[in-house]
Each structure stands twice: as structure tokens, then as C-alpha cells.
Amino acid sequence: MLTFDPFNMDDLLKSHKILMAELTNEAGRFCFGGVGVFAGEKLVHMAPPADVIPKLISDLIHWVKTTDTHPLIKSCVFHYEFEFIHPFADGNGRMGRMWQTLLLSRWRPIFNWLSVETLIRERQQEYYAILAVADKAVDSTAFVEFMLRFIRDALNDLMLTEQVREQVTDQVERLMSALGSETLSTKELLERLGLKHRPTFSNNYLRPALELGLIEMTVPDKPNSSKQQYRAVKRNSD
């Protein structure tokens, strides 16, 4: 994806051809007829006539390339307008989300690590609902605000993950490796780590892992319980 130029319509068509090659006979070409978006049997959005789509997409790409609007905002506006134009017979949602990621990554490389497609998957219903709100209002503001909040939250999560990663010492990494997916006592962990000095284990291994929220106690209300064991904290996958 990084080899595509987000301001080049030929690259847009080429990427659609690659993405949709095995899913539609119209991969890499703008639609030839009217395209509607349906919820069940109800028409919720009718795309512009097919004969004006190339001009609309060309104008949109020109605008996003030349506007002084902040890159975050213009990427969201592009995303919304692309979905409104709905230039392809299939794959419009994936293309719009992918192109926003491409626009953002050209502005700041950190966005190479934040796929809009992956993020939207977590809040898909809300995403489609806000698109419908913007369509009804004939105004992209609600959608832009939603996406900006979405991007902000994702960046905050990424920064937190990086901060935790930077704080993880070699000792904590060794502890997490020794613990794995099991639930173990202090004695068992000492044996696996080849340690005998409990204060060293507590200060350099156990306490930092607890403070970083990487592990948890099985008896949290009684830290010194003789039955105390430790396990890795389960985290939701992206």
C-alpha cells in the first residue's frame, strides 16, 4: 500500500484492482451503472450517476492534494466524500478506509501502524450509523468528528502501549516468559527463574510487573496470603 500515491487516480484504480481482483469482475474500474447502498431491502444511499463519477473522484483527489485544511481533517473529509460518491460496484468501504490510512501515513509515519480498516472493525455499527447521520444532514461534520475521536483514542492506546513497552525491563520480560499462560506461586517462579533471593525477585521482577499491570494476583485482597499465585493479565486482541 505504501507504494501508492494517494493523489493519483490511476493508483486508486490499481489498488482497487489488486484488492478486489478475485471478488468482482469490475475490479479496477469505476462502476458503469447506478450503485445503491441497502439495509436489507431499504435503500439508504444512492450514489451519483456513473457518468459523473470519474470527474467527482478527480475533483476530490485534487482538493485533498491542494487544500490547506489540516491533514487529519482532510483525510476524514476525503473518507466521507469517497463513501458518498461510491465510485465502485463493490469494495467502496475498504477502499475509502485504506485511502484515509494512506493519506495519514504520508503525513505522519506513525499512521503506518494504525490501519483505519482494522480500527473500524471494532466499532462497525457505530461507523455505519454515523455515515447515515452525515448523509441525512448532507454534511460531513458528524462523521469527521467521529473519526477524529476515533483516531485520537487509537493514538492514545498506541502511546500507552509504547510507554509500557519502554518500561519493561529484562527482568520483567524474563518473569513474563517464565509465567507464560500458567498461574504460579512465588516459589514456582523463583525455581523457574533460577533465583533464591526473594527481595531481589520482589523488587526487580514481581513488583514492576504488577505496577505495569502485566500480571495480577489470584488473591488480590490478601497480598501476603500463603495461597497467593500470579498470572498474566489477559488483554483484548486488536
C-alpha separations of 64 from 57, 72, 99, 152, 164 in Å: 11, 11, 11, 21, 36
Set of cell numbers at residue 79: 473518507
Name the pairing type of β-strands 215-217 and 183-185: unpaired
Place of cell 492506546: 157
Binding site residues for ATP, as ranges? 90-97, 127-128
Residue type for position 133:
V
Contacts of 54 (CB under 8 A, 6+ apart): 9, 30
What is d(CA 59, CA 69) in angstroms, rounded to the nearest whole number? 16
Active site residue ranges = 86
- Length of the chain in terms of residues written: 238
Among the listed residues 29, 26, 34, the one whose alpha carbon sits nearest the alpha carbon of residue 51: 34
Annotated binding site: 90-97, 127-128
Residue with cell 510507554: 163
